[in-house]
Amino acid sequence: MARVYNFSAGPSCLPEDVLKECAAEMMEYGTTGQSVMEMSHRSKAYEPIIQDAEAMIRKLMNVPENYKVLFVQGGGSTQFAMVAQNLGIKNKKAAYIETGVWAKKAAAEAKHLGVAVDVIASSKDKNYSYIPKVEKVEGDYDYVYICFNNTIMGTHFEYIPETGNIPLVADMSSCILSEEIDVSKFGLIFAGAQKNLAPAGVTLVIVREDLIPEPDACLPGTPTMSMYKTHADNDSMYNTPPCYTIYVLGKVLHWIEKNGGAAGINKLNVEKADYLYNFLDSSDFYHATTEVGSRSLMNVPFLTKYSNDLTKAAAKVDEAEQTAEQKAALAKEKEINAKFVKEAEAAGLVNLKGHRLVGGMRASIYNAMTLDGVKALVEFMKKFAENN
Ligand SMILES: *Cc1c(COP(=O)(O)O)cnc(C)c1O
């Protein structure tokens, strides 16, 4: 068996210790004579598993008493709708900060459901390579929405917008528990688990109790399963939860605790990210695509010197109108990126292909990626630069 270093943006690598524990308990969990996969979610053996996962979230994130911790399904994408259906109900108006694909999708979903969307700031002017500074938000908004870490663009909020009495909603899918967060500054936080917490299948929602509406106060047509109250009133057991994923989540949370909790993990994350960004910033061959002050610790997109002014200009014109020089530059860029990804894979460094909206490569270095993995990547990058 040879394990690779997996730089996937999601689903992504899990701590090896967790995988080993799951393997050891696969055929029999405790003395139950069965796998967790096979258990009734209402059984005596399973109930402590989900209760422990919730308790660990509360402990590691210091969740205040007046917040509910929910485990729901449907991924981050379903939360785009649920946020609007449950919170966009008074003035049916919300403010969104547009920092890339996921924030845009969330805003589009709110609009689709009849909530008026004000885009109060955007970094579209520079292809979302930075986080716009919004000091203070005022207005008759039902909520203010941000995507705290932009998985595709590789940016991260280094500040929390001041929204006064307006609840702040944050999508933390790709940075949850990568750093210490003051939950009380937010009305609602959600995170699909498959980036930093667990395998795919569960979404964590942390919501202030007073923001959970009664069923008939939700937007008209909201299904029962999309009401936060349904899940809050039933301890996330209204219907069958993704039992096994929640079990793995619990193990990941204990692994985080062993690594010093959010603060300890953050220290490791800063060390890993600094190692990679420092290399990128000092390289003549590679460059990061994001601005200092907005950089993600989790997702690091980068380009090579073959992505340059010529290719940038070429990408903006129709193929039919490109000059021969521009065509050649684009072809070379494409060839080098493909070569990088292919040779990296052969060296045991996988899933480094960049997202098409940014191009180049992207290394996702979530909590479970080791410093050794990042060092192996940088060593490979050095050699690749020498040979190309
Ligand atoms: C991946 C991702 C999503 C979408 O999550 P799904 O669980 O696939 O719906 C939403 N927001 C962010 C920031 C993401 O990284």
Mutation to probe ligand 1, out of 102, 147, 152, 202 (largest number of atoms < 8 A from CB): 102
Question: Catalytic pick from 102, 142, 251, 272?
Answer: 102
How far is 247 from 348, CA to CA, in rounded Å? 29
**Closest residue to atom 5 of ligand 1, CA basis:** 76
Compute the half-sphere exposure of residue 132: CA atoms within 13 Å on the CB side of its CA. Answer: 21
Give the rounded percent of residues in the chain with a pLDDT score beyond 90. 98
- Give the confidence band of 1 by pLDDT, cuts at 50, 70, 90: confident
Q: Does 274 participate in catalysis according to the annotation?
A: no
Nearest partner of 374 among 228, 276, 301, judged by Cα: 276
Q: pLDDT for 149-175, tens place per residue? A: 999 999 999 999 999 999 999 999 999
How far is 213 from 234, CA to CA, in rounded Å? 15
CA 78 to ligand 1: nearest atom: 9
Q: pLDDT for 123-139, tens place per residue? A: 999 999 999 999 899 99
Our answer on whether the CB atom of 192 is closer than 6 Å to any ligand 1 atom is yes
Q: What are the tokens at 382?
A: 């050095």
- Give the confidence band of 66 by pLDDT, cuts at 50, 70, 90: very high
How far is 13 from 301, CA to CA, in rounded Å? 18
User: Checking phi first, is residue 299 left (phi over 0); if not, alpha (psi -120 to 50) or beta?
Assistant: beta
How far is 244 from 240, CA to CA, in rounded Å? 11
**Closest residue to atom 13 of ligand 1, CA basis:** 173
Nearest partner of 137 among 184, 107, 93, 101, judged by Cα: 93
Nearest partner of 159 among 290, 294, 277, judged by Cα: 294
CA 102 to ligand 1: nearest atom: 11
Q: What are the tokens at 215?
A: 């069923």
Count other Cβ atoms within 10 Å, centred on residue 8.
18
pLDDT of residue 135: 86
Q: Is the pLDDT of residue 87 over 90?
A: yes
Mutation to probe ligand 1, out of 104, 146, 155, 173 (largest number of atoms < 8 A from CB): 173
Q: Is the pLDDT of residue 41 over 90?
A: yes
- The alpha helices in the chain, defined as continuous H runs, are 16-24, 47-61, 75-87, 101-112, 228-233, 243-258, 261-282, 309-316, 324-346, 371-387
| Ligand 1 geometric centre to CA of 371 (Å) | 25
Give the rounded percent of residues in the chain with a pLDDT score beyond 70. 100
pLDDT of residue 93: 98
Residues contacting residue 316 through CB under 8 Å, at least 6 positions apart: none
Q: What are phi and psi of 208, to 5 degrees?
A: -65, 130
Helix (H, G, I), strand (E, B) or coil at 109: helix
How far is 241 from 258, CA to CA, in rounded Å? 26
Q: pLDDT for 213-268, tens place per residue? A: 999 999 999 999 999 999 999 999 999 999 999 999 999 999 999 999 999 999 99
Average pLDDT over residues 181-210: 98
Taking CA atoms, 221 is separated from 70, 76, 85, 196, in Å, by 22, 20, 9, 33
Q: Does 102 participate in catalysis according to the annotation?
A: yes
First to last CA, the chain: 31
Dihedral (Cα; 215, 216, 221, 222), 10-degree rounding: -20
How far is 181 from 176, CA to CA, in rounded Å? 9
140 secondary structure, DSSP code: S
Q: pLDDT for 106-126, tens place per residue? A: 999 999 999 999 999 999 999
pLDDT of residue 116: 98
State the DSSP string of 208-269: EGGG---GGGSPTT--GGG-HHHHHHTTT-SS---HHHHHHHHHHHHHHHHTTHHHHHHHHH
Q: What are the tokens at 124?
A: 């579209």
Q: pLDDT for 328-357, tens place per residue? A: 999 999 999 999 999 999 999 999 999 999
Q: What are the tokens at 366?
A: 């979530």
Q: Does 195 participate in catalysis according to the annotation?
A: yes
- Give the confidence band of 142 by pLDDT, cuts at 50, 70, 90: very high
Our answer on whether the CB atom of 364 is closer than 6 Å to any ligand 1 atom is no
pLDDT of residue 88: 98
- Give the confidence band of 177 by pLDDT, cuts at 50, 70, 90: very high
Our answer on whether the CB atom of 76 is closer than 6 Å to any ligand 1 atom is yes
| Ligand 1 geometric centre to CA of 298 (Å) | 14
pTM here is 0.97
CA 150 to ligand 1: nearest atom: 13
Mutation to probe ligand 1, out of 174, 196, 351 (largest number of atoms < 8 A from CB): 174
Q: Is the pLDDT of residue 42 over 80?
A: yes
Q: What angle is formed at CA 165 by the lines to CA 162 and CA 166, rounded to 5 degrees?
A: 75
CA 200 to ligand 1: nearest atom: 7
Helix (H, G, I), strand (E, B) or coil at 72: strand
Taking CA atoms, 289 is separated from 31, 70, 280, 295, 373, in Å, by 52, 35, 10, 9, 21
